[in-house]
Amino acid sequence: MRLLLALALALLALPALAPAAQAVEPSEMLPDPALEARARDIGRNLRCVVCQNQSIDDSAAEVAHDMRRAVRDRLSAGDGDTQVYAFMVARYGDYVLLKPPFKPGTLVLWLGAPVLLLVAGGALLVAARRRRAASTPQPLSDEEQRRLDALLKRDA
Amino acid sequence: MKSNRLLFLLPLLTLCAMAVFFGWALLSGRDPASIGSVMVGRPAPKLEGVELGGGKPKLVNFFASWCAPCLAEHPLFTRLKEREGTAIVGIAWKDKPEATRAWLAKLGDPFKQLLFDQEGKTALDWGLSGVPETYLIDGQGIVRLHFRGPITEQDLKERILPLLKSGS
């Protein structure tokens, strides 16, 4: 039983241990490991334009290959990371960024869910407070207390 | 008490809002797979040996001999060239020049100029995602239309021809 459990756990952990699918071919890599590492970081954040939701580093598509090469060309030419991203956005638009930028056009995307959560949470809180206020018994007024005392005394 | 009764309508109203949204998404004809183009409205990227924006509109078509949709749209370009005299620049993308030439020899060559982009470097500057893709460049050298995928009869009639005929 314990062995089975261990096996199941190992299976669950497997995808986390295995290296992510990489489409970067050895022939594409830059000789300078630092530059190649930067290229990988950028490649992970750029979206392949023909595969909906894969980074160019994960995609074997022709265009993804060309984009990886362009990233390395720009880096080798001395471009900074932001310049490389700008190069891609100038050609493919914000679509090419896997993490969309924070700007007026994307406000709903970034803030929609948190705002909705706050509004819903607030509404729930207000409702809960009201219910508690309604269900808390009011203390008896002096008049009511006197009547109660009188009734109790009569029965006794 | 009145506000409480209105609260019961909330799920119904939410449902209505969702129905309107889904209805719009289904019927508006918008393509969620479309990645759009940032090229439209901007000056066309340079092409070696090609004059874009010399007063007359031009079409730029990326194609390849191995691409089936390119085969499908090819007769439309032939028609444009023969009936309208449109200047079309063909760019063979990731294709062997001899294969491209054989393809054009067999089907007819509608291109005024033919370029080769075997490494896909020109394509990247044009924001290309694959073949076929077609751009209309106006007389001032500004990209006016960008089609991802093969152009259709309808595209030709409703979008390309009006712009070609308006001159500039």
All structural domains of chain B with their residue ranges: 1-30, 58-165
Min mean pLDDT across A62-76, A142-156, B72-86 is at A142-156
Residue A1 three-state SS:
coil
Helix axes A33-45 and A81-92, enclosed angle (nearest 10): 40
The encoded tokens of residue A79 equal 């471009």
Whole-angstrom distance between the N-terminal and C-terminal Cα of chain B?
67
Residue B92 has pLDDT above 60, yes or no: yes
With tokens 């199941």, the residue in question is A8
- Interface TM-score (ipTM) > 0.90: no
Q: How much is the pLDDT for A13?
A: 63
Give one DSSP letter per residue of B96-151, joined into a string. -HHHHHHHHHHH----SEEEEESSSHHHHHTT--SSSEEEEE-TTSBEEEEEES--
**Nearest residue, CB atoms, B36 vs list A62, A89, A93:** A93
pLDDT given for residue B45 in this prediction: 96
Which residues in chain B have their CB less than 8 angstroms from residue A92's CB? 35, 38, 127, 129
**How buried is residue B40: exposed, middle or buried, by Cβ count under 10 Å (0-12/13-18/19+)?**
middle
Q: Is the pLDDT of residue A15 over 70?
A: no
Task: Look at residue B10 and tell me whether its pLDDT is greater than 70.
Answer: yes
Mutation choice for B interface testing from A27, A28, A92, A97 by most B CBs within 10 A: A92
d(CA B114, CA A79): 32
CB A46 within 8 A of CB A98: yes
Could you say which architecture CATH assigns to the domain A18-101? Orthogonal Bundle (1.10)
Which chain B residues are Cβ-neighbours of A63 within 8 angstroms?
Answer: 120, 123, 128-130
At A53 the pLDDT is 86
The class that CATH gives domain B58-165 is alpha beta
What would the mean pLDDT of B111-119 be, rounded to a whole number?
96
